[in-house]
């Protein structure tokens, strides 16, 4: 008969502690989240390390980093806690009409600016007590967003992703292409945007870290071409504002420009090079959808998608 650890000796709170430290990557912040002292977190980690026979978290100048064993354990522990929370919550089933919960969506502002005006009226009508928070996320590459979702820093992520790992559920909300945004009275808005004129112009890019290059630069480099990027801004709405006041060009999502461009005096023109549309997905861990509240939010996003996101008119 195999040796088994008696479950009576396993403290479920240690798994909650593991989840908090994995999410926060910092003992002090995990302690604040669990409303205990940092020494209590350290003591719990020692017990976990003894029980699981692994260091689990290693010290780092900014906090702690998980070991490979800890990363392997993240999904099964999340599944166990998700099932447990569902059992506990079963006594008070989620009802959007009466719930006072707060959910967090995450993604680039270009997606939320398009989606939230459609989602919020539905939520205000069906669930007046529910609040929504939005976390700005702009990763490079986009696959890094899976770490943020795994850490439960957002309930549902909205991102341009071709595919997702098996541990996630996703729904394609819409497909998005980029256009060249410019001031309405820009010379290139009237005279036509050739590839030569595009490369000769000055440009801005959207980059959370100020990186002056992006996907467009890689496309141009493949053709032996380049452009001058004179400004990098951290989000798309700031890009619209900057374009409105300068002669800069910016490659921005077509729906964003179609909806908000008129307010800024900005128009969009087709790119003078071929681009592939992005699939904009809503993504959540499968285990998280055991939470009826998150499952409801995911369904609301799917319902908005089924109704149809606005399609920009041809410039």
Q: What is the DSSP string of 286-313?
A: TTGGGSHHHHHHHHHHHHHHHH-PPPPP
Each residue's pLDDT tens digit, 169-213 = 999 999 999 999 999 999 999 878 999 999 999 999 999 888 888
- Alpha-carbon gap, residue 118 to 112, rounded angstroms: 10
Q: Please say if the pLDDT value at position 67 is more than 90.
A: yes
- Structural domains in the chain? 7-89 (1.10.10.10), 102-163+287-307 (3.40.190.10), 178-269 (3.40.190.10)
- Alpha-carbon gap, residue 178 to 275, rounded angstroms: 8
Q: Residue 91: what pLDDT?
A: 63
* Residue 309: pLDDT band with limits 50, 70, 90: low
DSSP 216-278: HHHHHHHTT---EEEEEESSHHHHHHHHHTSS-EEEEEHHHHHHHHHHHTEEEE--SS--PPE
Cβ–Cβ under 8 Å, residues 156 and 297: yes
Each residue's pLDDT tens digit, 219-260 = 999 999 999 999 999 999 999 999 999 999 999 999 999 999
Q: Is the whole model's pTM more than 0.85, yes or no?
A: no
Dihedral sign, Cα of residue 218, residue 220, residue 223, residue 227: negative
Each residue's pLDDT tens digit, 83-133 = 887 777 666 788 999 998 889 999 999 998 998 888 999 999 999 999 999
What is residue 141's three-state secondary structure? coil
């Amino acid at each position: 008969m195999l040796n088994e650890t008696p479950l009576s000796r396993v403290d479920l709170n240690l798994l909650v502690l593991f989840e908090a430290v994995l999410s926060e990557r910092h003992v002090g912040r995990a302690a604040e989240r669990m409303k205990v002292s940092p020494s209590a977190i350290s003591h719990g980690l020692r017990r976990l390390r003894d029980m699981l026979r692994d260091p689990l978290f290693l010290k780092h100048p900014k906090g702690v980093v998980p070991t490979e064993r800890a990363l392997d354990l993240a999904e099964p522990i999340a599944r166990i806690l998700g099932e447990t929370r569902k059992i506990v919550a079963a006594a008070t089933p989620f009802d959007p009409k009466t719930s006072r919960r707060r959910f967090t969506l995450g993604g680039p502002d270009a997606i939320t600016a398009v989606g939230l005006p459609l989602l919020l009226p539905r939520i205000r009508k069906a669930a007046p007590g529910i609040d929504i928070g939005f976390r700005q996320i702009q990763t490079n590459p986009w696959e890094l967003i899976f770490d943020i979702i795994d850490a439960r820093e957002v309930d549902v992520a909205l991102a341009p992703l071709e595919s997702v790992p098996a541990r996630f559920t996703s729904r394609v909300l819409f497909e998005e292409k980029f256009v060249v945004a410019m001031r309405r009275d820009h010379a290139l808005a009237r005279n036509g945007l050739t590839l030569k004129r595009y490369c000769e112009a000055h440009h801005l890019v959207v980059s959370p870290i100020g990186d002056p290059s992006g996907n467009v630069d890689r496309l141009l480099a493949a053709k032996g071409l380049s452009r001058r990027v004179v400004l990098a801004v951290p989000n798309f709405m700031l890009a619209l504002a900057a374009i409105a006041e300068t002669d800069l060009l910016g490659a921005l999502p077509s729906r964003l420009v179609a909806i908000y461009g008129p307010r800024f005096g900005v128009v969009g023109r087709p790119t003078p090079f071929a681009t592939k549309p992005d699939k904009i997905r809503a993504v959540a861990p499968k285990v998280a959808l055991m939470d009826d509240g998150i499952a409801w939010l995911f369904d609301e996003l799917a319902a908005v998608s089924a109704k149809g996101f606005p399609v920009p008119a041809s410039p």
